[in-house]
Amino acid sequence: MIWLRDILKGLLWAVGAAALVIGVAYSGFSHGLAPLVVIPALAPVAAYQVHRSPRVAWLTLGWVLLLVGAFIGLVLWAFRDFHFRAIQG
């Protein structure tokens, strides 16, 4: 039961980081990719600071990497037929 709780804590931190990235991206609060990269990178650090558990931090990192990989896969899948010509105009 402890593992399940830790897995869900890691998932919550990763989803919270993803929601914060989406909020920052659409709000126009900052420009550039730096905040969009730093927020998910700091999620495991924040999870460790709150829970004082290396397992929660590693699980958070795993969930963040899974979500980033899914996003990259979704973007690549979306442009599979256009061969990235849609970006060129």
pTM above 0.75, yes or no: yes
Measured CA to CA, the distance from residue 81 to residue 84 in angstroms comes to: 8
pLDDT digit string, tens, across residues 32-86: 888 888 999 999 999 999 999 999 999 999 999 999 999 999 888 877 766 655 5
User: What are the sequence ranges of the domains in the chain?
Assistant: 2-88
Could you tell me which of 75, 6, 71 has the C-alpha nearest to residue 44?
6
